[in-house]
Amino acid sequence: MIDKRPTFPLPLSSVVNDKKTTGANKKYHATASGNERGEVSGNHVPVQRIATPQTATKNTVRHLERPMTAASGSTGVGQQNSSSIHSNFERQRPPPREQNSSTTLFDNLRHAMVSRLGKQGIRDTVVLGAMGVVPRHYFVEAGLVNQAYIDASLPIGHQQTISQPHIVARMTELMRAGRSLNNVLEIGTGCGYQAAVLSQVCINVFSIERIKSLHELAKNNLRSLRIGNLRLHYGDGMLGLPQVAPFDGIILAAAGMQIPDALLHQLAIGGRLIAPVGGKHQTLQLIERTAPTEWVRSELEACHFVPLCPGTI
């Protein structure tokens, strides 16, 4: 086996497109309460047709591409320079025979996904680059591999989903806002896909999952990518990680009726928190901390996430 550092799969300038986002700003006063963990598909994105079920042949190809050896079971935090932000993981390459039959196929599908994201309005070339190097097919169930790069959320078990590519890119772009980010917190690791994307645009990523089996799934999915700046935690995401705070950015992958107080106070001044808020009708919201006791909220677009729930299971 040989190591290969991932590179952008296509000229990012060729996929950039303009799209404006609007939102009404108002002061946000922190209040307690909430729920935790989930995934999403945005209502503002056209519905994609789900592909036909995966064949046994394609499943075999997928497992051939996955490396047979792995690093440690949980990923660790490593200090990275911003100049090397897109080299935060090294994917173990499969033997040439398997690489020819599968890697090219998935690379082409990922290139097409990145091009589509540009047309959908994702303009941040750093985010597009991250989406272009993280192999989403590593994070979906074997029977859904042929749907890995369509713009749809997919089930990962426990009534949770892997978010659709557009919403992952959208939330990451909103949180980053062109800034260099040091510590970032994700609430709801799920299968680990968004955490892997975040690892390519942030110095350090911390991700919390409340469902033990999903925490273990994420560790298994991420093992072969050998990400050095990502730390996974099993626990109640509504409590955040006060021992690591403050965070330059926080992303919630589940919708609560309110943003938990603990997370608002763990956001650095000048930091940005992205979260779906609501019950049956949800909106994606951006929270910016402007002072020690002041937050500004912007309501963006309609979305649909699984519920944010407290505790661990």
Paired tokens of 141: 């169930």
The CA distance from 150 to 19, in Å, is 21
The one catalytic residue among 41, 163, 224, 298? 163
Please state the separation of Cα 278 from the chain's center in Å: 20
The one-character DSSP state at 42 is: -
Six-digit token string for 221: 């999915």
Q: Dig out the tokens for 211 from the structure.
A: 């469902």
The answer to whether residues 231 and 205 touch, using CB atoms and an 8 Å cutoff, is: yes
Residues 6+ apart with CB under 8 A from 303: 40, 41, 42, 43, 44, 167, 255, 276, 282, 283, 284
The separation between CA 42 and the C-alpha centre of its own chain, rounded to angstroms, equals 14
Region of 173 please: left (phi>0), alpha (psi -120 to 50) or beta: alpha
DSSP classification of residue 256: B
> Pairing between strand 267-278 and 247-252?
parallel
Residue 163 annotated to the active site? yes
Please give the Cα distance from 138 to 200 (Å, whole number): 16
Residues that are catalytic: 163
